[in-house]
């Protein structure tokens, strides 16, 4: 896994106070935080959830800055997406906050 340290440093610098506040209020309940591919000042989106045996499992939340705006549920065995979901449009940012909602019938 390749980590973009510049994105990581930028995220920490911009959101340290907000993240600290969230932790104090015990609103963070996830193991991994992944930055979106287009993470920047105008699009501070993270994907928060857990891995098991190298695969996504359980609920993965989509968070913009400090607000949960979407998510998807993954099965344990094969990491299939199940149930209701909310995902972001390509190019999601402050001035274009389009989301898509749906439900997975059978993966």
> Residue 13: which pLDDT band, with cuts at 50, 70 and 90?
low
Three-state SS for the chain is CCCCHHHHHHHHHHHHHHHHHHHHCCCCCCCEEEECCCCECCECEEEEEEEECCEEEEEEEEEECCEEEEEEEECCCCCCEEEEEEEECCCCECCECCEEEEEECCC
pTM score over 0.75:
no
> Residue 18: which pLDDT band, with cuts at 50, 70 and 90?
low
pLDDT at residue 12 above 90? no
What average pLDDT does the segment 77-99 reach? Answer: 84
């Amino acid at each position: 896994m390749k980590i973009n340290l510049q994105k990581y440093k930028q995220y920490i610098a911009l959101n340290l106070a907000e993240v600290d506040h969230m932790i104090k209020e015990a609103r963070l309940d996830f193991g991994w935080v992944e930055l979106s591919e287009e993470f920047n000042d105008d699009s501070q989106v993270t994907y928060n959830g857990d891995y098991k045996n190298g695969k996504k499992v359980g609920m993965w939340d989509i968070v913009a800055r400090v607000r949960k705006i979407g998510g998807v549920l993954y099965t344990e065995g094969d990491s299939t997406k199940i149930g209701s979901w909310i995902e972001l449009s390509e190019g999601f940012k402050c001035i274009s906050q389009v989301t898509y909602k749906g439900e997975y019938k059978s993966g």
